[in-house]
Structure 1
């Protein structure tokens, strides 16, 4: 394990911004996967949801109530996995190798 050095205020700010960008990107990718999965459920007519939506007088509300929570769930799972595998220990090795782990 690498020895942890004290970060300056500017280094800590940059570190936090890099981690937030890392997690935001993972959330966006998870959200996109969730929305794609929800649209595939409708397009492939799984559970006859697509045919029910085709006959609905106002299909926007059911689509919203299925797609948004599904996208948010996938996004949250992606963020949890990103936090779990966050390369934070590699941040201290960056000074030695010169590579940014994010």
Structure 2
């Protein structure tokens, strides 16, 4: 069995959102505003948001942070608190997040 590479401190976070019916366009616009702000954070190595072509109410996030502290910092930014917590999350029917390490 291969051992985990503990020398890579990066943290990968994935998120899956399903928005309430009729909120697809509003959430997409919020995320278009949010994305460049998140990508510009010093601890963010990769940050992409995808909208499902056949089910536009579904969004998938792929995020790579320099470590757990960078992820914590991300959640304390004004743009995360305002756009994600304050405006987008209330429009969601479902939100799932998972964290991964590189092997």
| Range class of TM-score, shorter chain | under 0.3
Q: Which has the higher helix share?
A: 1
Q: Which has the higher strand share?
A: 2
Q: Which has the larger radius of gyration?
A: 1
- Higher relative contact order (Cα pairs below 8 Å, separated by 6+ residues): 2
